[in-house]
């Protein structure tokens, strides 16, 4: 019980409250009525607000069908097309010449697409896909880095009623093969190569290796990224993207109306918390949810310039690089490759050059900015910024304050968002310009979202008591499993409490959290993020909270490893640049763990590292640290945002 009490005290401590900056005057949520009260009072009819942001070919006749709960169906009877909502209707509204996409390449290239340009190329690609035999309800796998051709092909699939299945370009051939086979893909779109810190990587070779193992032959479209200096040979049933676009330029491909309940795309979870699972999102509910949150959380209106650093291989890239912002008619900035290449000025140059107004990134990226130092953002004009956002993992109060002060100049509200691949859109966040902000606390549920923290028996817990984060009402952008997905979805998300509270519908998020007296939620970590030391299971979030509470420590990861037959705790931590008293910090970290957890958890080693290994979605890859501790070989570092840190960690491990 002592461990439970210490966790309760830590996560329920009073957080400083910040008022919305008075200079933020573009809030679209101010209506004179508290939106949460209205949505609670009018639920589920309140979600008609989200549907009203879309253009419908045929109006829906039933907002919510709950006959097959928990597999709810939204906007039943309605028909629409996602590409039409992201492109065509903006042309009709007189925004043909407005910029839709601004692309920043790794080699100082820039490309700009107006909404007219976007419409023309999306239509050409859609015609090309049809020529290759892709039909409505077929699946097209996309295996591309952050190039304009990726969102263009996603929208081309949506235009003809095909589903896209985006696979992160850093994945190895086996991962690509698994995701193609699991979706029964009818075509593949990839590129000849990509650049990693100036070095060309043969992307097509990886795609060809996966295709060689595929049971059936399917057409492949190849985008030319490397240019004429790197000639690529196309094999049988392989086609050059540029030639297809030229061939079908000006083609007339009307958008195919889809039922609101028809699937829009497949996407796989990252696999950081278990085996990657295929997710499916429905056209109407997903698009309504992403458009509504893009307006409500990110305050996006037509013409606003917006940059989200997420890779399009993850759901954040789907929801808040492509569908949400383009449905709102925004100008989307795309940046290829690492934010540190060619130097640490790059992110601030992108913001300055493009006049970015809304910036959305991960706490891991912000911590990297902190380690680089405030001189880099200070050297650039950031006056265009008016709203900042974070996603991917909890953001610590110190990181929040640095972001607020040195990036937003204390005039930009921060929306610290919580959501998942499964939820499709943001679920918890403050409303900018309306809600008070609490550094380190993600915020209350959005209007229409009913989130509760419960114990292992499904009973709601009082403020300050840590437990399991659950959602107790359906929402439009929720996952829409196909028949083949139904059984694992039920087991994973809806049967956690069924034997104890059979009368209660709850979506089990898999995250642990605590709520305060004001209804603000703080995410503690994954329920399954544990290490076992001395036959005791310890939550990594609790351990890492104790470590980062030490003055001078900016980030930490705790893993268990076996050396000499014993299982011990090992700590990897990053520290402020000006701290040189490493022995003193090691002692302080050990004391913090012993005081918080107990003597049995005293770490066998504390290793200081300039960075922790992270995925492109901002999550710490504990598997990398575990392989280093256990002296094993890392099989694949490509999913890492910062693969170069692996060698440095191995060197630090042997010397420290």
Query: What backbone torsions phi and psi does residue 619 show, to the nearest 5 degrees?
Result: -100, 140
Query: What was the pLDDT predicted at 123?
Result: 98
Higher pLDDT, 439 or 652: 439
Reduced to 3 states (helix: H, G, I; strand: E, B; else coil), residue 66 is coil
Tell me: pLDDT of 7 over 60.
no
**Backbone phi and psi for residue 604, each to the nearest 5 degrees, phi listed first:** -75, -25
The stretch 62-88 carries a mean pLDDT of 93
Over 60: is that where the pLDDT of 626 sits? yes
User: Tens digits of per-residue pLDDT, 235-288?
Assistant: 899 999 999 999 999 999 999 999 999 999 999 876 544 566 888 999 999 999
User: What number is the average pLDDT over the span 328-350?
Assistant: 93
Helix (H) or strand (E) segment spanning residue 151: helix 149-159
Spell out a b/e string for 624-653, using b for 16 or more CB atoms within 10 Å of the CB, else e. Answer: bbbbbbeeeebeebebbbbbebbeebeebb
Q: Helix (H) and strand (E) counts for the chain?
A: 22, 29
Give the per-residue pLDDT at 251.
95
- By three-state DSSP, how is residue 174 classified? helix
Tell me the average pLDDT across 630-636.
70
Query: What count of residues does the chain have?
Result: 656
Average pLDDT for residues 144-159, to the nearest whole number?
A: 97
Is it the case that residue 445 has pLDDT exceeding 80?
Answer: yes
Domain formed by 125-256, architecture: 3-Layer(aba) Sandwich (3.40)
How many beta carbons lie within 10 A of that of residue 121, not counting itself? 19
pLDDT attached to residue 501: 46
Q: Give exposure, 203-224, as e/b (b: 16+ Cβ within 10 Å).
A: bbebbbebbeeeeeebbbbbbb
Left (φ > 0), alpha (ψ -120 to 50) or beta: where does 271 sit?
Answer: left
What b/e readout covers 390-417, taking b as 16+ CB neighbours within 10 angstroms?
Answer: bbbbbbbebbbbbbbebbbeeebbbbbb
Residue 15's Cβ-count burial label (10 Å; 0-12, 13-18, 19+) is: middle
User: What's the CA gap between 420 and 190, in Å, rounded?
Assistant: 26
Greater confidence (492 vs 620) lies with: 620
603 or 15, which is more confident: 603
Decide if pLDDT at 452 tops 60.
yes
Residue 359 reports pLDDT greater than 70: yes
Beta strand 99-104 with 110-114: parallel, antiparallel or unpaired? antiparallel
- Residue 264 φ/ψ, nearest 5 degrees: -100, -40
Mean pLDDT value across residues 5-14: 42
Classify domain 529-655 by CATH architecture. Answer: 2-Layer Sandwich (3.30)
Q: What's the predicted TM-score (pTM) here?
A: 0.86
- 2 band by pLDDT with thresholds 50, 70 and 90: very low
pLDDT over 70 percentage in the chain:
88
36-60 mean pLDDT? 96
145 touches 194 (CB < 8 A)? yes
Determine the average pLDDT of the residues in 480-492: 60
pLDDT at residue 25 tops 90 = no
Per-residue confidence (pLDDT) for residue 301, from 0 to 100 = 95
Task: Using the predicted structure, report yes or no on whether residue 47 has a pLDDT greater than 60.
Answer: yes
> Is the predicted pLDDT of residue 429 greater than 90, yes or no?
yes
Measure the CA–CA gap between 23 and 560, rounded to whole angstroms: 47
Indicate the average pLDDT of the chain: 87
**pLDDT > 90? residue 531:** no
What is the CB neighbour count within 10 angstroms for residue 303?
A: 13
pLDDT confidence of residue 427: 98
Task: Please report, rounded to a whole number, the percentage of residues in the chain having pLDDT higher than 90.
Answer: 57
Q: Where are the domains of the chain?
A: 125-256, 529-655
Q: For residue range 302-331, list pLDDT tens digits in order.
A: 999 999 999 999 899 999 999 999 999 999
Question: Phi, psi at residue 362, to the nearest 5°?
Answer: -105, 155
> Between the CA of residue 646 and those of 46, 311, 367, 372, 651, what are the distances in Å?
49, 21, 18, 19, 9
Place of tokens 């609790």: 542
Q: Are 104 and 333 in contact (CB under 8 A)?
A: yes
Q: Which of 52-56, 188-192, 634-638 has the lowest mean pLDDT?
A: 634-638
pLDDT in tens, 180-233: 999 999 999 999 998 876 678 889 999 999 999 998 899 999 999 998 877 888
Q: Do the two domains 125-256 and 529-655 of this chain adopt the same fold?
A: no
Alpha helices in 222-357 (DSSP H): 241-247, 283-296, 315-317, 324-327, 346-354
Q: Count CB atoms within 10 A of the CB of residue 537.
A: 9
In sign, the C-alpha dihedral spanning 642, 644, 645, 646 is positive
Question: Given this model, what pLDDT does residue 215 score?
Answer: 85
The pLDDT value recorded for residue 485 is 61
Residue 163: pLDDT band (50, 70, 90) is: very high
Distances (CA, A) of 173 to 18, 131, 278, 314: 47, 27, 17, 18
pLDDT band for position 1 (cuts 50, 70, 90): very low
Q: What are the distances in angstroms from CA 612 to CA 106, 358, 624?
A: 23, 27, 9
Query: Do 351 and 369 form a contact (C-beta atoms < 8 A)?
Result: no
For residue 625, CA distances in Å to 325, 503, 587, 634 come to 36, 43, 21, 10
Neighbours of 159 (CB within 10 A): 27
> What is the per-residue pLDDT across 572-620, written as a single tens digit (0 to 9) for each?
998 887 787 889 999 999 998 887 777 778 898 999 988 888 876 667 8
pLDDT at 644 over 80: no
For residue 419, the tally of other CB atoms under 10 A from its CB is 26
**pLDDT greater than 90 at residue 453:** yes
CA distance linking residue 174 with residue 209, whole number of Å: 8
φ/ψ region of 187 (left if φ > 0, alpha if ψ in -120 to 50, else beta) reads: beta
pLDDT at residue 8 in the model: 35
């Amino acid at each position: 019980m002592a461990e439970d009490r210490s966790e309760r005290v830590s996560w329920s401590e009073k957080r400083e409250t910040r008022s919305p900056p008075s200079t933020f005057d573009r809030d679209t949520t101010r209506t004179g009525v508290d939106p949460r009260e209205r949505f609670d009072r009018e639920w589920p009819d309140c979600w008609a607000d989200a549907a009203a942001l879309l253009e419908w070919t045929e109006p829906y006749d039933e907002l919510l069908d709950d006959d097959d709960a928990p597999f709810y169906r939204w906007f039943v009877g309605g028909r629409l097309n996602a590409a039409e909502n992201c492109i065509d209707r903006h042309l009709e509204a007189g925004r043909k010449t407005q910029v839709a996409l601004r692309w920043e390449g790794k080699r100082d290239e820039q490309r700009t697409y107006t909404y007219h340009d976007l419409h023309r190329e999306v239509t050409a690609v859609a015609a090309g896909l049809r020529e290759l035999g892709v039909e409505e309800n077929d699946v097209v796998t996309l295996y591309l880095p952050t190039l304009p051709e990726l969102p263009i092909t996603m929208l081309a699939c949506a235009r003809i009623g095909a589903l896209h299945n985006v696979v992160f370009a850093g994945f190895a051939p086996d991962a690509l093969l698994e995701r193609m086979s699991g979706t029964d893909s009818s075509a593949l779109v990839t590129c000849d190569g990509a650049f990693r810190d100036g070095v060309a990587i043969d992307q097509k070779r990886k795609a060809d290796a996966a295709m060689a193992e595929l049971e059936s032959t399917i057409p492949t479209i190849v985008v030319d990224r490397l240019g004429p200096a790197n000639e690529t040979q196309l094999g049988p049933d392989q086609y050059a993207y540029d030639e297809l676009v030229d061939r079908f330029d000006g083609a007339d491909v009307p958008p195919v109306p889809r039922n609101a309940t028809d699937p829009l795309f497949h996407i796989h979870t990252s696999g950081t918390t278990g085996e990657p699972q295929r997710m499916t999102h429905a056209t109407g509910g997903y698009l309504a949810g992403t458009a509504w949150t893009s307006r409500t959380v990110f305050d996006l209106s037509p013409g606003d310039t917006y940059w989200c650093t997420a890779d399009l291989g993850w759901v954040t890239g789907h929801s808040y690089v492509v569908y949400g912002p383009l449905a709102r008619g925004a100008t989307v900035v795309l940046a290829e490759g690492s934010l540190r290449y060619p130097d640490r000025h790059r992110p601030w140059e992108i913001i300055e050059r493009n006049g970015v107004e809304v910036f959305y990134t991960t706490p891991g990226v912000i911590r990297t900015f902190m380690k680089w130092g405030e001189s880099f953002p200070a050297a650039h004009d950031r006056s265009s910024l008016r709203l900042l956002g974070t996603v991917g993992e909890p953001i610590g109060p110190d990181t929040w304050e640095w972001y607020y002060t040195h990036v937003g100049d204390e005039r930009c509200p921060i929306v610290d968002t919580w959501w998942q691949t499964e939820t499709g859109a943001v679920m918890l966040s403050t409303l900018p310009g309306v809600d008070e902000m609490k550094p380190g606390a993600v915020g209350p549920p959005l209007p229409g979202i009913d989130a509760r923290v419960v114990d292992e028996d499904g009973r709601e817990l009082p403020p300050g008591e840590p437990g399991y984060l659950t959602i107790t009402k359906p929402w439009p952008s929720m996952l829409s499993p196909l028949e083949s997905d139904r059984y694992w979805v039920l087991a994973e998300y809806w049967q956690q409490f069924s034997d104890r509270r059979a009368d209660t519908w709850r979506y089990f998020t898999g995250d642990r959290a605590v709520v305060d007296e004001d209804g603000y939620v703080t995410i503690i970590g994954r329920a399954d993020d544990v290490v076992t030391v001395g036959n005791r299971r310890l939550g990594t979030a609790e351990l890492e909270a104790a470590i980062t509470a030490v003055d001078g420590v900016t980030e930490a990861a705790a893993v268990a490893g076996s050396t000499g037959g014993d299982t011990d705790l090992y700590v990897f931590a990053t520290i402020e640049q000006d701290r040189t008293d490493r022995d003193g910090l090691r002692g302080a970290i050990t004391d913090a763990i012993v005081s918080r957890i107990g003597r049995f958890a005293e770490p066998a080693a504390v290793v200081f590292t300039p960075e922790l290994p992270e995925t492109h979605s901002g999550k710490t890859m504990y598997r990398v640290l575990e392989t280093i501790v256990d002296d094993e070989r890392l099989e694949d570092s490509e999913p890492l945002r910062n693969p170069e840190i692996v060698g440095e960690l191995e060197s630090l491990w042997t010397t420290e």
